Amino acid sequence: MADGSTNGTPAADGRPDGLPDVLRRAHLIGIGGAGMSGIARILLARGATVSGSDAKESRAFLTLRAQGATIAVGQRAENLDQLPEPPTAVVVSTAIKETNPELAAARERGIPVLHRAEALAELMKGYQVACIAGTHGKTSTTSMLTVALQHCRLDPSFAIGGDLNESGANAHHGTGSVFVAEADESDGSFLVYAPRVAVVTNIEPDHLDRHKTPEAYSAVFDRFVDRIVSGGALIVCADDEPAAQLGDRAADRGVRVRRYGRSATGEHDAQILDYRPHTEDGGVVRVRIGGRELDVTVAVPGEHMAVNAVAALLAGVELDAPADQLAEGLASFGGVRRRFEFKGRANDVRVYDDYAHHPTEVAAQLRAVRQAAGSGRVVVVFQPHLYSRTRIFADEFAKALELADEVVVLDVYGAREEPEPGVSGQLIADRITEATVHYEPAFDRAAELAAGLVRPGDVLVTMGAGDVTQLGPEILRELDARAAAGAPATGD
């Protein structure tokens, strides 16, 4: 276990006093990204001088500039020279290569370089830290815990991999003593955190382009458990066998372990007794926690979201928040951007967007979409993310997508990877046999194709971690245009 010590000086209320010296003048490369923009928000709120760069403008980019950050479009060494004073640190993510001109210039000039997670760890010092990790569900669970603690008037600081629908923000510098953070296992960077409460929602092999083997991927979670401070707790899902086994190993090492799920037992654990779905807007999960039973309303559809809510409830209790107030806060949770996010309705077709990019996530979300669709059909436009993931999980993706009625498979969004010969979206499309499938490698034709497949009463969801998120508004415009022109919406 970590010893729980910090380099910051705690204030009388338990919050850190001031800003870490290394981050007083911080330059963030790729400042518009989800993780980097959140760190920038917190730095600005804590009085840091913030600069940065990104390849293009974005919503986060413009917001940060309005809040006082100096941001350049394009990444070049001169961006550092044009600052009034040299940065005290340059912050990067794993996606930034050593050949990046700003990173290379920082190293040449002896400017300290911090990974994004290291910068966040600096900002966490002096707080009671809650980190939510796991292959799936960590963004939603982190967001739920944040909203629940806000309802308890604890005003936590937070850093999340998505924007809360309530505030439109992915990060916040709060007045309370708690810091809630999504902990990313993809590159092992969460091993710099020292949480009081660590949640592991589930463990399933992923990011094998970095971890190489399922065994190595699983092992990084054991190392994460070793980062829990003395007296802290590990919270695991008892229904997920790898997570449950992680809890057993942690308990053998003397870590205090709390479990949630249908199979969880124990006076201080959270056992799911029942889940009652609503047609479109979530459901109610009944939980036994601390020797009593409690109904928790979840306003987002899918039993997997209800399970995430129970994880957040148990984490909140571990942070000394009252269960009743936490449950009230969870009922007000309105979702996260790109997590089954409603984009609009046209011609009696509801359009959603979702970030699911692993077979298990795709299957869980399509089950939730089926619940929301009622008597309507489910149409999914899926964009595979990463060539390696497409190659490794092609069969699993096909099986998951067969939960829809109509499937449009786009080509692979390569992100950080170079194309692999023979690997395309067709690998997945060719394996789909239990749903009507369309392979569309031309991104600019996807919206028209999708709009031609739906009929009134259907639910359409765009799905994936890449630029497929852009298609929702285009599909809605196409549907509106067809309705205005009197074109029949038959799904033929």
pLDDT the model gives residue 211: 53
Whether 261 contacts 272, CB under 8 Å: yes
pLDDT above 50 for 57: yes
Q: Which of 49, 88, 135, 139 is catalytic?
A: 139
Mean pLDDT of 68-76: 91
Q: What is the mean pLDDT of residues 194-204?
A: 93
pLDDT at 5: 37
Q: Which two tokens stand for residue 30?
A: 């790729």
Which of the pair, 277 or 284, is modelled with greater confidence?
284
Mean pLDDT of 395-407: 94
Whether residue 139 lies in the annotated active site: yes
292-305 confidence digits (pLDDT tens): 999 999 888 778 88
Above 50 in pLDDT, residue 3?
no
Among 102, 118, 122, 182, the one annotated catalytic: 182
Residue 22, φ and ψ in degrees, nearest 5: -65, -20
* The residue count for the chain: 492
Q: Among residues 181, 189, 309, 184, which one has the least CA distance to residue 171?
A: 181
For residue 399, indicate whether it is catalytic.
no
The CA dihedral of 475, 370, 390, 38, to the nearest 10 degrees, is: 70
Active-site position among 135, 138, 343, 469:
138
Which tens digit of pLDDT belongs to each residue from 371-383?
788 889 999 999 9
pLDDT band, residue 165 (cuts 50/70/90): very low
Of all residues in the chain, the percent with pLDDT exceeding 90 is: 61
Averaged pLDDT, 138-148: 91
pLDDT at 421 over 60: yes
> Mean pLDDT score of the chain, rounded to an integer?
87
HSE-up of 443 (CA within 13 Å, CB side)? 13
More confident residue, 411 or 347: 411
- What value does the mean pLDDT take over residues 117-134? 94
User: For residue 326, what pLDDT is reported?
Assistant: 96
When mean pLDDT is compared across 160-174, 180-194, 457-471, the lowest value belongs to 160-174
Inform me whether the pLDDT recorded for 155 exceeds 80.
yes
pLDDT value of residue 1 = 56
CB 347 within 8 A of CB 479: yes
Span of 95-99, 118-122, 241-245 with lowest mean pLDDT: 95-99
Phi, psi of 157 (to 5 degrees): -75, 150
Region 392-407: mean pLDDT is: 93
List, for residues 223-248, the tens digit of each pLDDT value: 999 999 999 999 999 999 999 999 99
- AA letter at 304: H
Instruction: Report the predicted TM-score, pTM, of the whole model to 2 decimal places.
Output: 0.72
**Backbone dihedral angles phi then psi of residue 190, each to the nearest 5 degrees:** -70, -5
Cβ–Cβ under 8 Å, residues 245 and 221:
no
Lowest-confidence segment of 59-68, 107-116, 157-166 by average pLDDT: 157-166
The mean per-residue pLDDT over the stretch 9-36 comes to 75
Longest Cα–Cα distance in the chain = 68
Domains in the chain: ranges and CATH: 21-114 (3.40.50.720), 126-331 (3.40.1190.10), 341-484 (3.90.190.20)
Two structure tokens written together for 411: 């080509």
- Our answer to whether residue 138 is catalytic in this structure is yes
pLDDT above 70: residue 491: no
**From 58-62, 188-192, 249-253, the region with the lowest mean pLDDT:** 58-62
Q: Summarize the confidence of residues 276-287 as an average pLDDT.
A: 82
What is residue 6's predicted lDDT score, i.e. its pLDDT? Answer: 37
pLDDT band at 166 (very low <50, low <70, confident <90, very high): very low
Confidence grade of residue 360 (pLDDT, cut at 50, 70, 90):
confident
Query: What mean pLDDT do residues 26-41 have?
Result: 90
Buried b (16+ CB within 10 A) or exposed e, 251-264: eeeebebbbbbeeb
